[in-house]
Amino acid sequence: MRKTTAKSKHTWQLIVIIVTVLILGLNAIPTLYGNNNALLISSSNPTQSLPAPQTLRQLMQQENIQVKQIISGDTDSKIVIQGDDEALSIAQQKLKTDLDDSYEVRLGSQSAAPKWLNELGMSPIKLGLDLSGGVLFVLEVDTPKADQERYESAKDEAMHIIRQQGFRGMSVKLPETNGDTSTANGLNLHFLTQQTSDVKTLVQKVQDYLPGIVYTKIDENNGRLMFSEQSINEFHQQIMAQALTTLRGRIEELGITEAVTQRQGANRIRVELPGVKDPEQAKRIIGATASLDFYAMAKDGEIGAKTFKDNSGRRLRVASKPIFTGSSIENANSGRDEMGGALVNLSLDSVGGEKMSAFSKNNIGNPMVVVFSEYHRNAADEMVKRSRVINVATIQAQLGNRFSITNLDSHDEAAELALLLRAGSLDAPITIVQQRTIQASLGQDNVNNGIMALAIGLSITLLFMGLWYRKLGLIANTCLVLNLVCLVGLMALLPNMVLTLPGIAGLVLTVGMAVDTNVLIFERIKEERKRGRSNFLAIEIGYKEAFRTVLDANITTMITALILLSIGYGPVKGFAMTLSLGILTSMFTGVFVAHVLTYLVKPQIPVKHKELLS
């Protein structure tokens, strides 16, 4: 009865091993094939049909570029190119020249694995910046400038309340900064001596609008409105989170799926773009700080009206507060109007749709002004905001949450504006403080050197284990190979996993850790044999007793890896991720798989160590 139970136990374990190794092994296969260069063609207009595959093939033949495959989808087409980066660049330029302006041609890649693997959704491991080449950006978020913008918004709201309540003799001003935004740390409030109750009313209404602001009385006629320390810290956290979300959205719009975007320090963001072959486009999109605001025209004599210039230099006065901002935009797509001109179709969220519906209903026949704003550095290296009117349209009927911005200068401008609006605007300006480009050839050298190091380490380990432990060594070697297969398959299976050069070092380290697990178990088995245990009993006790030591060792290593994973970035994070996954696969193959294989093979363990090599 006991024998049947043990047999059934190892039967289900064997099924688990076969299924796990089969799934992870299939996911590991595409990594052996790598990727081919490809061009992704998409249309900015969802109703426009994509170019026929035969047309695309003929355009490539005109440049003597070999096409391996053309994949046609519902929303895009992919041309798989057989050639280097130069051929890919020539092919992209050819398509941009010969296709309609409404088509977008982006650089990309396609798995070189067999078609049936691609249809199963299996793809190679995503390579990091140091292995595939690409661009590294380190961006700095200008939080002092965001604080200044916040205080300016608070000042506009306070002045609006003062005018609305009719508090004569009361004023709110920003302190003099002399270009240094770090000194913009409050609002100066001036009032008359008899306006004590009016000041309380003003402060209460401002605090309702901005809950984090506090009032401090200076003397009988002056006070100061400032955000609390807690409110400032929370605002900076929100700014950084919003910047990360926006940048990730922009990177996705660029079609880069292997990017690494993470916070670095208090106010910096590290962006790694593996495989990027057009760094200037990436720099232009990622570094853009564009925002969009929709205004009504100011009425004659309106106090607090703002003035903006359009592209022709004409000055337009608009209301002090926008109808709604770009934060209400859910989606944006470029297209053409009836005359072939460039436009951007917008979709608003429920809040923006309600504001637009109410405004357009009451302002039919009146103009609405669209203001585009972005930050740039002036000659004094100061970050300043530049705004311009890009559209003035007369409202012909009540609008809802869908409408268009027309009369744009070009289709390229429309496409770029739509991209920025889809990804979201940045509440704080960002500056690229570091940019580094790694050539694809250097990345390939790193891959080759890393694989060579892994191969040498693996070969020496396999040779040693085979000579020293004989049959047990063959089991250990089998588990070691399965460990690498499972680890590569698991890394390819996880969607956000990116292999870096330090990650290859983690692979090499995993080989040593996996062997260490087997050595601990095998030595314990030999000790049990020396104590007079039977061959079968020595194996069972050896695995059971050594498991505690193996588990303790791997847990301590896992804790270190998780700490590196949580606080590290870039190469450190790549190493920690590979090490963490390697610990899991080492435990699976070194303990679980090795135990089952030992039970099936039933190797004879000599009682004396010297007999092991005889």
Report pLDDT digits (tens) over 253-311: 666 656 778 888 888 888 888 777 667 767 766 766 667 788 888 887 777 788 888 77
Provide the pLDDT confidence category of residue 2 given band limits of 50, 70 and 90: very low
In 52-175 the beta strands, taken as DSSP E runs, fall at: 66-72, 76-82, 103-111, 126-127, 134-141, 171-173
Res 442 pLDDT > 80 = no
Report the alpha-carbon distance of residue 513 to residue 388 in Å, rounded. 61
Residue 277 is predicted with a pLDDT of 64
**Cβ pair 6, 537 in contact under 8 A:** no
Report the alpha-carbon distance of residue 338 to residue 495 in Å, rounded. 42
Ranges for all domains in the chain classified under CATH 3.30.70.260: 35-112
Provide the pLDDT confidence category of residue 1 given band limits of 50, 70 and 90: very low
166 strand-pairing partners: none
* Exposure of 399 in the CB half-sphere (CA atoms within 13 A): 24
Report the alpha-carbon distance of residue 590 to residue 515 in Å, rounded. 8
Region for 349 from its dihedrals, namely left if φ exceeds 0, alpha if ψ lies in -120 to 50, beta otherwise: beta
Report the alpha-carbon distance of residue 291 to residue 300 in Å, rounded. 27
Domain range 2-30+441-613, CATH architecture: Up-down Bundle (1.20)
* Exposure of 511 in the CB half-sphere (CA atoms within 13 A): 22
In 439-501 the beta strands, taken as DSSP E runs, fall at: 498-499
Decide which of 228 and 438 is more confident.
228
Query: What's the DSSP call for residue 297?
Result: B
Question: How far is CA 497 from its chain centroid?
Answer: 12
Report the alpha-carbon distance of residue 529 to residue 47 in Å, rounded. 75
Residue 288 is predicted with a pLDDT of 66
DSSP letter for each residue of 399-438: --SEEEE---S-HHHHHHHHHHHHH---SS-EEEEEEEEE
Q: H or E element: which one contains 371? A: strand 367-377
State how far the alpha carbon of 577 is from the alpha carbons of 70, 224, 564, in Å.
35, 50, 9
Ranges for all domains in the chain classified under CATH 1.20.1640.10: 2-30+441-613
As assigned by CATH, the class of the 146-233 domain is alpha beta
What residues contact residue 419 under an 8 Å CB cut-off, 6+ apart? 250, 253, 285, 332
Amino acid at the residue 275: G
Q: H or E element: which one contains 41? A: strand 35-43
As assigned by CATH, the class of the 35-112 domain is alpha beta
Residue 184 is predicted with a pLDDT of 56
Percentage above 70 pLDDT, the chain: 85
Picking from 191, 26, 218, 202, the residue whose alpha carbon sits closest to that of residue 116 is 26
CA terminus-to-terminus distance, the chain: 38
Decide which of 317 and 41 is more confident.
317
Picking from 386, 582, 360, 396, the residue whose alpha carbon sits closest to that of residue 491 is 582
Report the alpha-carbon distance of residue 393 to residue 294 in Å, rounded. 11
Res 9 pLDDT > 70 = no
Structure tokens given for 138: 């380190």
Residue pLDDT, tens place only, 561-579:
888 888 776 677 778 888 8
What residues contact residue 120 under an 8 Å CB cut-off, 6+ apart? 26
Ranges for all domains in the chain classified under CATH 3.30.1360.200: 290-407
Interval 466-489 mean pLDDT:
85
Residue 123 is predicted with a pLDDT of 83
pTM (global) more than 0.75: no
Region for 431 from its dihedrals, namely left if φ exceeds 0, alpha if ψ lies in -120 to 50, beta otherwise: beta
- Cβ burial, residue 108 (10 Å; 0-12/13-18/19+): buried
Report the alpha-carbon distance of residue 51 to residue 81 in Å, rounded. 17
Report the alpha-carbon distance of residue 510 to residue 582 in Å, rounded. 5
**Cβ pair 514, 586 in contact under 8 A:** yes
- What is the CATH number that goes with domain 290-407? 3.30.1360.200
Decide which of 239 and 411 is more confident.
239
Structure tokens given for 559: 């804790």
Res 152 pLDDT > 60 = yes
Decide which of 201 and 73 is more confident.
201
Residue pLDDT, tens place only, 308-339:
887 777 888 888 888 887 777 777 777 777 77
What residues contact residue 244 under an 8 Å CB cut-off, 6+ apart? 261, 262, 263, 269
Tallying the residues shown for the chain, one arrives at: 614
Report the alpha-carbon distance of residue 100 to residue 45 in Å, rounded. 12
Structure tokens given for 576: 């920690």
Structure tokens given for 16: 């688990």
Mean of the per-residue pLDDT values for the chain?
79
Report the alpha-carbon distance of residue 333 to residue 320 in Å, rounded. 29
Interval 63-75 mean pLDDT:
75
Residue pLDDT, tens place only, 193-229:
888 888 888 888 888 888 888 998 888 889 999 998 8
Residue 571 is predicted with a pLDDT of 72
Report the alpha-carbon distance of residue 509 to residue 573 in Å, rounded. 15
Query: 11-18: long-range contacts (C-beta < 8 A, 24 or more apart)?
Result: 13/592, 13/595, 13/596, 14/596, 14/600, 16/592, 17/592, 17/593, 17/596
Residue pLDDT, tens place only, 106-144:
777 777 788 888 778 788 887 777 777 778 888 888 888
Report the alpha-carbon distance of residue 240 to residue 350 in Å, rounded. 25
Report the alpha-carbon distance of residue 369 to residue 295 in Å, rounded. 5
Decide which of 526 and 485 is more confident.
485
Q: What number of other Cβ atoms are within 10 A of residue 242's Cβ?
A: 18
Query: 211-216: long-range contacts (C-beta < 8 A, 24 or more apart)?
Result: 213/154, 215/189
Res 162 pLDDT > 80 = yes
DSSP letter for each residue of 297-323: BPPTT-TT-EEEEETTS-EEEE-SS-S
Residue pLDDT, tens place only, 166-177:
888 888 888 876
485 strand-pairing partners: none
**Angle of the 440-493 helix axis to the 2-33 helix axis, nearest 10:** 150
520 strand-pairing partners: none
Percentage above 90 pLDDT, the chain: 1
Report the alpha-carbon distance of residue 376 to residue 372 in Å, rounded. 13
Provide the pLDDT confidence category of residue 3 given band limits of 50, 70 and 90: very low
Q: What number of other Cβ atoms are within 10 A of residue 323's Cβ?
A: 20
